[in-house]
Amino acid sequence: MLKNCGMGFGAMAFSALLQDKSFAGLDSSGKDRHSALNPLMPRKPHFPARAKSVIFLYMDGGVSHVDSFDPKPMLDKFHGQDPRKLMDVQPTQFNSIGKILKSHWEFKNYGKSGLPVSDLFPHVGACADDICVIRSMTSKFSEHTNANYFLHTGNGLQGRPSMGAWAGYGLGSENQDLPGFVVVNGGLVPPGGLDNFNSGYLPAAYQGSVFRASNPPVSNVLRSDPSEAHQRAKLNFMRKLDAENLKRAGEHDALESAISNHELAYRMQLEVPELMDLSGEPEYLKEAYGFNHSWNGTKTFARSCMTARRLVERGVRFIELTCPGGSGDRWDQHGKLRDGHTKNARSVDQPIGTLLKDLKQRGLLEETLVVWTGEFGRTPFAQGGDGRDHHPWGFSLWMAGGGVRGGTTYGATDEFGYHVVENKLEIHDLHATMLHLLGLDHERSTFRYGGRDMRLTDVHGHVIKDILV
């Protein structure tokens, strides 16, 4: 599936067929906002952007909201009771509905804002005044794969462009030597596979490049020739032959840009290893991220988070991080909730906390939108003895930086954390807001395909104005 890997590197890319009308659908003014010559050339947003880049922290499997960012004292009160007696209970994915289950974790109030965060996330809690917790998110799907596609592409089925691809399509890239949409794979490829990061019907230049947090991060980026000199000689020779061919064939843009493409690929062979080389980073910072942590997951995610910051520094538009494995079946704790959530949180909490601080300290947080979310939440009642089932009808996520008001919460679930009762949101609203912060009007960000002007938000979505600075 690795159209994603080693491909989708943007830059200087050109396509004769991109001149085709379908590519020009972005601006309702009718102006062609795209340079046909370079799909990743930076483009002006619809309105001034709050964020230049997005870091999307994807919590694969679904974090329990009532154990993390949405405290529910009623669960303590009714712990062990039959939920059917207290509420109308809808069928869940596995539908073995047990008793009300209180949280294993204490909530503390953090920062000036006093934002409540559970003991799972002390490092994130320490950044409470920078984050905005949304407690009224919903999804349409209670099954991982559909929910993942929905979260990533705004549609529950395979084949649509990922949000990172839309960002690249709308804005181009600030760095012409790196892809505009990078997924740093911590180890867990989400259910639904790499198609969560695909460009769908958008041009291939916008697809997510999946990097491993290793060097090399992608295939074919290491030169096959034994030395620099060998390769240079080959390229020089090729250039001669190509020039000769151009003379014969006439002035075909396609040929010329294919030639420059080779030059770019050559530069990329240098740029990408440099990006992934963390040896120059200061030791104290590595320590803070968790490079030396005793837990392997933390080490892995620490590298991912630091790489994310380096990608932001290099102007990469959209960066998604997937979780490291080894902590149970992702965040998907149908059983062993205490153990699984503890381990998963141990892997990501410290690296994320440090990432927020690191970004802030460098002044990057203001122009970087950080989003933390799973594909859905988990039920307030137990599945089995110590598990929670999938729950799409009300869950929490948080955002930080990039124009989001920190130290706040938005929306609410009912007293059990079961259904949203205030400011219900759907994934389309999240997408609309993300695009908005990047300076894009989601209703004007369209691509003509299959007889329709397609949008990331389909025909839905509202910007969540209340959480913006």
Site residues for other proteins, 184-203, by CB under 8 A, read 185, 189, 191-195, 198, 200, 203
Smallest distance from other proteins to CB 248, Å = 8
Q: Which is nearer to other proteins, 1 or 469 (CB)?
A: 1
Helix axes 253-276 and 228-249, enclosed angle (nearest 10): 160
* Rg for the chain, CA atoms, rounded: 23
Largest Cα–Cα distance of the chain, in whole Å? 83
Q: How far is the CB of 203 from other proteins (least distance, A)?
A: 6
Is 317 a binding residue for other proteins by CB under 8 A? The answer is no
The distance of closest approach from Cβ of residue 177 to other proteins in the complex, given in angstroms and rounded to an integer, is 9
Residue 461 CB, nearest approach to other proteins (Å): 13
Residues 40-59 that bind other proteins (CB under 8 A): none
Residue 283 sits in the site that holds other proteins (CB under 8 A): no
CB 208 within 8 A of CB 319: no
Nearer to other proteins, 66 or 120 (CB): 66
Comparison of 236 and 294: residue with beta carbon closer to other proteins: 236
- Binding to other proteins in span 429-458, by CB under 8 A: 448, 450-452
CB-nearer residue toward other proteins: 83 or 191: 191
Please tell me whether residue 269 adopts helix, strand or coil conformation. helix
Q: Do 333 and 378 contact (CB within 8 A), yes or no?
A: yes
**Residues from 288 through 307 that contact other proteins (CB under 8 A):** none
The distance of closest approach from Cβ of residue 367 to other proteins in the complex, given in angstroms and rounded to an integer, is 27
Q: Does residue 128 contact residue 178 with C-beta atoms inside 8 Å?
A: no
Position 268 contacts other proteins (CB under 8 A): yes
CA distance 242 to 59: 48
Residue 190 DSSP label: P
Question: Terminal CA-to-CA distance of the chain, rounded, Å?
Answer: 40
* Separation of alpha carbons 391 and 144, rounded Å: 11
User: Which is nearer to other proteins, 189 or 285 (by Cβ)?
Assistant: 189
- Piece of 50-58, 156-164, 312-320, 435-443 that binds other proteins (CB under 8 A): 156-164
Total residues in contact with other proteins, by rule CB under 8 A: 106
The residue (of 153 and 342) whose beta carbon lies closer to other proteins is 153
Binding flag, residue 215, other proteins (CB under 8 A): no
Cβ at position 176, least distance to other proteins in Å: 10
User: In the bound complex, what is the minimum distance in angstroms from residue 200's beta carbon to other proteins?
Assistant: 8
Q: Which distant-in-sequence residues (6+ apart) come within 8 Å of 113 by Cβ? A: 128, 129, 406, 407, 408
CA distance 424 to 429: 10
Q: Are the beta carbons of 314 and 178 closer than 8 angstroms?
A: yes
**Window 225 to 264, contacts with other proteins (CB under 8 A):** 226-227, 229-231, 233-234, 237-238, 240-242, 244-245, 248-252, 254-255, 257-259, 261-262, 264
β partners of residue 404? 468
Asked if 157 interacts with other proteins (CB under 8 A), we say: yes
Please, which of residues 55-114 interact with other proteins by CB under 8 A? Answer: 88, 90-96
Residues 6+ apart with CB under 8 A from 2: 194, 210, 219
Residues 116-155 that bind other proteins (CB under 8 A): 138, 141-146
- Going by C-alpha positions, the residue among 135, 138, 137 that lies closest to residue 116 is 135
Told to check if 15 binds other proteins by CB under 8 A, we report yes
Which residue type does 446 have? T
User: Is position 161 an interface residue for other proteins (rule: CB under 8 A)?
Assistant: no
Encoding tokens for residue 259?
Answer: 């030639």
Residue numbers 374-433 binding other proteins by CB under 8 A: 392-393, 414, 419-425
By CB under 8 A, residue 158 contacts other proteins: yes
Options 56-64, 212-220, 353-361, 433-441: segment touching other proteins (CB under 8 A): 212-220
Cβ within 8 Å of residue 75, ≥6 positions away: 66, 100, 101, 102, 103, 380, 416, 417
List Cβ neighbours of 467 (8 Å cut-off, separation of 6 or more): 132, 134, 399, 404, 405, 408, 410, 433
